[in-house]
Structure 1
Amino acid sequence: MGSREREAERDAILRALAPVVDGIAATFGPVCEAVLHDYRRPEKSVVAVAGSVTGRTVGGAMSEIGLRVLARGDEARGELNYVTRTGTGRRVKSSTMVLRDSTGAVFGALCVNVDVTEVDRVQGLLAALAGTAAAGPSQAPVTTFGDDIDSVVDALLDEHLRRQDQTWPGLDRTRRLALFRGLDERGVFAVRRAVEQVAARLGISRASAYHYLAQARATPTDSSEGAPP
């Protein structure tokens, strides 16, 4: 199959799934959102959306979850019934189902997000009424959902620095490479201009950022040579 035929096939699959997005959201009501993504355009991956759990709109960017799937390429698998939280604290149960063309290549995803915040509250109330000890819901990771890909990249960068409990100048070379490797594994550098954005946030030159990225990809373990300050 030629590239033109493959792109036409992918476009046809997305068109066929657009009504499914509306059907899913209509079936499950206002607590449900369905989002159709075209991974060929990470910065504007949302091609259809119904519902408003995460506030996505057509033309919006993929989330951290989408970037993670994109980074795995054709090895990506669907992720079903995982729980996350929005930046406003809403607890969301989600499923991401990857889309493949007839060659098996991953090119998009159909995502379903269900707001289960009130379900958790009702469970806690019922447990209290029954007199049983109720452990609170586990703290799900916060996921940045937004139409701006820059905010998603910033959130991932902040998460990595926070995990290191350091600013960029405070990281040694091993941890600097680990930061770039971690961002790369999360799909950040699949986004256009991401290297420039990360360089600006870290206060380093674009050339230094590209050097760190190349070193991180070339050396999965620590190496003591050749990184710029």
Structure 2
Amino acid sequence: MFRVTAIVMLSAPIGIGAALAATIGTNGLKILINLGKLVGCLYAALVCFIVVVLLPIALLARVPLLPFCRAVARPFILAFTTASSEAALPIAMENLELLGVPKKIIAFVLPTGYSFNLDGTTLYLSLAGVFAAQAGNVDFPLKKQIMMMLTLILSSKGVAAVPRASLVVLSGALANFGLPMEAVAVIIGVDAFMDMARTSVNVLGNCLSAVVIARWEGVYPPPIATLADDAASMASEKIV
């Protein structure tokens, strides 16, 4: 399985280039301007989500921001570069344990969040749905937008934590609301760039959830002696 994963990762740039070439060849160079706006809008929305939602939650829960950022930096970057939250899961669990979050909370919150706490994916699907309506010149009033948002919040639960898995959910949502399916073929050319951003935000949100739950349960931060023993134990396991 590791060999298969390595082959997929090595061939991914070729597939992304082919998808982008097919999109440009079919729709012309002008489509890049609209797709660039879509990518920029997603990145801006994710930054706003981090600042407006995740940061206040961290402050209200009194999460130590600097140690937390150090702990999630590596899994965040790994999720961004691979566009797969599954690849970042082992490192995220290890770093949160070193941060002082109990194993039982990590083992419950992170796998559950990978199925039900997909903030970045939900934002992406909502933006992609509106983009499809605009690209197809379809009248899409606010009422339908709200209905589609609620539908995507539910349908995005359980999306596989692998690259481009959310395109399946997007296709179903477009068909359900009478939006042009051709938009998926257009979006797939730049989906890799958006997938990296939404996946990293998913990992960030799940890591924060684990720390907040630990604070809620009163088991974080742990006693200094316990934290030192855990760190020494993990170091000895690595040496062995």
Normalising by structure 1, report the TM-score: 0.32
Q: Which has the higher contact order (CA 8 A, sep 6+)?
A: 2
Flag the structure with higher strand content: 1
Structure showing the higher helix proportion among its residues: 2
Q: TM-score, normalised by structure 2?
A: 0.31
